[in-house]
């Protein structure tokens, strides 16, 4: 049922050093049935199965965006836009934005903060097949301090009991992950500053323990150097932003980084497609300091995962490849970048059925013109996108 044999100049099965020249992928019933040499698959697969012959193209795993906000419109006044939106209209907007990501080759998105659990309803509609869209991993309302970063999303907590209740609420609503705003953020100027902690180390440990009790991992928004250390000690699974801020500017701590690596914590260094403008606005000195800490983390062996923070002001949906190009501009290799966007992101999100092309995996894959291992821009030239074996039509 719905079988198709895709053949191309190469298949990047993943990790990105696993390349099959003149390769093929047999898709069947939502999962990958076989991966191998095109000639062998062509000969062995029933001739009634349709062939998608993609000369000049590469087949690779669908890409993943580990940090988006589907409820946000990327405009300058998103807080009132989110708060004032009619739920039905906001649901439609969430679906449209998710589909924009899918059209850009992103087959999995992790939403790290929405309103009224609306992404969970969209996720259900996609999973049932009623709506075409990417796989959604949803955090629902992020835990934050009273009056803190993104409190308008409904996840404000003060006491330990509040924390337990909010996590139980999110889990019951269908959250796949618990998001905590461990430090302040730029979006909420009335709350703590970006480098200031919103939770004590003990509260962060409680959040991780409670999330684990509900079978969930924790994604921690953390700009502050001290907060990053506390999040790692508490046992979070991913650090979002990880910008090493203090009141005195960027202060990098290699000992915390060693613990990030040792504890298998992944870092989502959110970068929008418009990063060049963002760096210009930062000024050359601060931009250079920001880039330097990313290089130091990379040299220390940190596992980076891909995230755009799409939805926050200036971070448009569907400009995913622009984010990958930021890492290329820092000297990351193309294979390293593709792994960041696929297998490493799947690992960090605890998804064992996507991120590589192998028999039994979800058929989340893309076909692009050219070879992204030599030319990242090839990722913008999408010929086909499959999500759970379903072809996406434009
Ligand atoms: Zn965010």
C-alpha span between 233 and 237 (Å, rounded):
11
Instruction: List pLDDT tens digits, range 85-123.
Output: 999 999 999 999 999 999 999 999 999 999 999 999 999
220 and 238 in contact (C-beta within 8 Å)?
yes
* All domains in the chain, ordered by first residue: 4-61+355-391 (2.30.40.10), 63-348 (3.20.20.140)
Q: Which residues pair with 387 in a beta bridge?
A: 390
Report strand pairing: 365-369 vs 303-305: unpaired
319 C-alpha vs ligand 1 centroid, how far in Å? 16
Instruction: List pLDDT tens digits, range 156-170.
Output: 999 999 999 999 999
363 C-alpha vs ligand 1 centroid, how far in Å? 28
- The reported pLDDT for the residue numbered 394 is 52
180 and 239 in contact (C-beta within 8 Å)?
no
Residue 231 DSSP SS3: helix
Whether residue 274 has pLDDT greater than 60: yes
Residue 219 burial by Cβ neighbours in a 10 Å radius (0-12, 13-18, 19+): buried
Q: Which residues pair with 11 in a beta bridge?
A: 20, 59
Measuring CA to CA, which residue among 388, 387, 389, 390 is closest to residue 105?
A: 387
Measuring CA to CA, which residue among 110, 135, 119 is closest to residue 217?
A: 110
Angle, helices 201-213/160-173, rounded to nearest 10 degrees: 30
Question: In whole angstroms, how far apart are CA 22 and each of 14, 129, 375?
Answer: 15, 32, 18
120 C-alpha vs ligand 1 centroid, how far in Å? 17
C-alpha span between 71 and 310 (Å, rounded):
10
309 C-alpha vs ligand 1 centroid, how far in Å? 5
C-alpha span between 214 and 66 (Å, rounded):
21
150 C-alpha vs ligand 1 centroid, how far in Å? 9
Instruction: List pLDDT tens digits, range 317-367.
Output: 988 999 999 999 999 999 999 999 999 999 999 999 999 999 999 999 999
**Total-model pTM:** 0.97
Measuring CA to CA, which residue among 220, 232, 237, 73 is closest to residue 149?
A: 220
66 C-alpha vs ligand 1 centroid, how far in Å? 10
Measuring CA to CA, which residue among 267, 350, 275 is closest to residue 306?
A: 267
């Amino acid at each position: 049922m719905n079988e198709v044999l895709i053949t191309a100049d190469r298949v990047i099965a993943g990790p990105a050093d696993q390349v099959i020249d003149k390769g093929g992928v047999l898709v069947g019933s939502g999962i990958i049935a076989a991966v191998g040499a095109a000639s062998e698959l062509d000969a062995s697969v029933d001739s009634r199965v349709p062939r998608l012959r993609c000369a000049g193209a590469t087949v690779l795993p669908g890409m993943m965006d580990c940090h988006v906000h589907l409820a946000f419109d990327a405009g300058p006044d998103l807080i009132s836009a989110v708060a004032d939106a009619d739920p039905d209209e906001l649901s439609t907007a969430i679906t449209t934005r998710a589909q924009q990501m899918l059209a850009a080759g992103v087959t999995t998105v992790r939403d790290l903060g929405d309103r009224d659990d609306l992404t969970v309803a969209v996720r259900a509609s996609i999973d049932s097949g009623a709506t075409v869209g990417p796989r959604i991993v949803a955090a629902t309302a992020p835990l934050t301090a009273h009056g803190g970063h993104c409190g308008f999303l409904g996840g404000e907590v003060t006491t330990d009991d509040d924390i337990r209740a909010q996590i139980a609420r999110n889990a019951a609503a269908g959250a796949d992950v618990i998001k905590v705003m461990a430090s302040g953020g730029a979006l909420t100027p009335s709350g703590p500053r970006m480098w200031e902690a919103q939770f004590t180390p003990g509260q962060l440990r409680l959040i991780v323990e409670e999330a684990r009790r509900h079978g969930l991992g924790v994604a921690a928004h953390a700009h502050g150097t001290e907060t990053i250390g506390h999040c790692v000690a508490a046992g979070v699974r991913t650090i979002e932003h990880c910008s090493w801020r203090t009141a005195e500017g960027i202060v990098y701590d290699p000992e915390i980084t060693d613990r990030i690596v040792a504890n298998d914590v992944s870092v989502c260094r959110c970068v929008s497609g418009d990063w060049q403008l963002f760096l210009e606005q930062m000024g050359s000195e601060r931009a250079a300091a920001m880039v330097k800490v990313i290089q130091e983390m990379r040299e220390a062996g940190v596992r980076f995962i891909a995230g755009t923070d799409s939805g926050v002001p200036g971070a448009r949906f569907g400009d995913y490849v622009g984010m990958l190009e930021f890492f290329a501009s820092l000297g990351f290799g193309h294979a390293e970048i593709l792994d960041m966007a696929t297998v490493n992101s799947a690992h960090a999100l605890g998804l064992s059925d996507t991120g590589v092309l192998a028999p039994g995996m979800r058929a989340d894959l893309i076909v692009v013109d050219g070879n992204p291992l030599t030319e990242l821009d090839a990722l913008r030239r999408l010929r086909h996108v499959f999500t759970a074996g379903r072809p996406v039509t434009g």
